[in-house]
Amino acid sequence: MTQNNYSIFKYLRKVTINSIMLFIGISVSFAQQLGKMDAIYSGTPWFDQNQNVVSAHGANIIKEKDTFYLFGEAHTDMSNAFTGFNCYSSKDLYNWKFESIALPQQKSGKLGPNRVGERPKVMKCPKTGEFIIFMHADTLTYKDQFVGYAVSKNIKGPYQFKGPLLYQGKPIKKWDMGTFQDTDGSGYILVHGGEIYKLSDDFKSVTEKVNENITSGFESPTMLKKDGLYYFIGSHLTSWEKNDNYYYTANSLKGPWQSQGLIAPERTLTWNSQSTFVLPIQGTKGITYMFMGDRWSFPKQASSATYIWQPLVISGTSLSIPDYQDAWQLDTVTGISSVAESNDEIIKNTDTQIQYKGNWKETTSESRSDEKDASFTVSFTGEQIALYSLVGSENGYAKVVLTDKKGKVIVSALVDMYSKFSIETQVFRSPLLKKSNYHLTVSVTGERPNWSDKRKSNYGSTGYYISISQIKIKPHKI
């Protein structure tokens, strides 16, 4: 190759590489723009950087440096068997990046095939600097329950499963569990019924049973501390069904604990959720305590279960979520939360912009159908689209597909429209979209959430209806 030809070759190679990098940059930029959320939206599917539904239930969040890490149960739609604990990261608590399966299913043993692994909670040990996942491990029939733990030097994992956490040489044989790290760095295990166990300095064993059982039931325990007062939150026993969560307060972890009632208005069923964790977000101007709840959806736990994250209102011994916020914002620097402002265009269910196919029952408040494959489509131009429904006891699963003007799928999700008590609520909200034309299509799947518990009691929906009450479209900024 002559010197001149070699120079041309280098030039062409540089141009090609730059073009490829530019294309990659545009693709990445588009993906980032598409996936961006501007608030915390409860009760809707969330999507990670790959547009996959975020799967992290029974979760907690731990902040390391300037990043929040979310750990939760990975699920399938086929079984409640353990498939791993997922790890996601975020800078703002709105947008989540899938990092890893922090603790995968083991080849055999207590977290192997056909076992249960639930409610992962991660704490950083002040003494060793290690990260510890605590969890409830069990059989599928819930007859070999214990609190287990796994260890990693890296917050993202991989974590090494060590087996049962021991107290006086024996496992803590309880079901639902949670964790609490006090202001002095001490770690505690919270379990079913209200028992509290203090961890050793290395967080790998228990040194003391701090508190005895408070009451029957009281599952999904979680705790926070404000101004020296402890608030202990738990749930009634109603299988996967939501219920009115309640709480106790005490000046000491050893009690005595005072019953304070419900954390949300009666019959809202804690805004259709069950407690899993409370995250304090400390900022330069204040602190927001964020209630983290799960909206379970059996059997479609992987694709249809969602999250209810709400700011807690705390004053003295009063702790509550008095109003449900569809969308709210949080400044992680200042620690101040606020209701997200909205200038959405509202399209009612009777609007001709909504095109229906199949048999639909229409009223002024909703359109509903239980005919398999019946659907409606909305064509729109906007930055974001949201679907609101009258969820109820006869409702089932809806398939939601968002496509661009060329028919390419942007995101798709399976949405659960069941609720024990009827209420209008947001069930889907898209990521922010670039300026273009889009189509949202929602269809009846002919499937419904229902299940029976260990006592063979039946729960869940009695029908297959899906519902639309209104569509909200956020216009592009001028």
pLDDT of 2 above 90: no
pLDDT, tens digit, 9 for 90 and up, residues 349-385: 999 999 999 999 999 999 999 999 999 999 999 999 9
- pLDDT bracket for residue 22 (50, 70, 90): very low
Helix/strand/coil for 436: coil
Helix/strand/coil for 29: helix
Query: CB-based contacts of 350: which residues, under 8 Å, 6+ apart?
Result: 362, 364, 367
What DSSP string runs through 284-328?
SS-EEEEEEEEE--SS-TTTT-EEEEEEPEEETTEEE--S--SEE
The answer to whether the Cα torsion of 267, 272, 273, 274 is positive or negative is positive
Q: Measured between alpha carbons, how far is 357 from 245 in angstroms, rounded to an integer?
A: 40
Residue 268 contacts residue 256 (beta carbons within 8 Å): no
> What pLDDT is attached to residue 452?
82
pLDDT, tens digit, 9 for 90 and up, residues 287-325: 999 999 999 999 999 999 999 999 999 999 999 999 999
Q: How many other C-beta atoms can be found within 10 angstroms of the C-beta atom of residue 362?
A: 13
Give the mean pLDDT of 408-429. Answer: 97
Tokens at residue 145, please?
A: 């329950």
Indicate the DSSP class of residue 47: B
pLDDT of 184 above 50: yes
Q: Which amino acid is at 328?
A: W
The answer to whether the Cα torsion of 348, 352, 353, 354 is positive or negative is positive
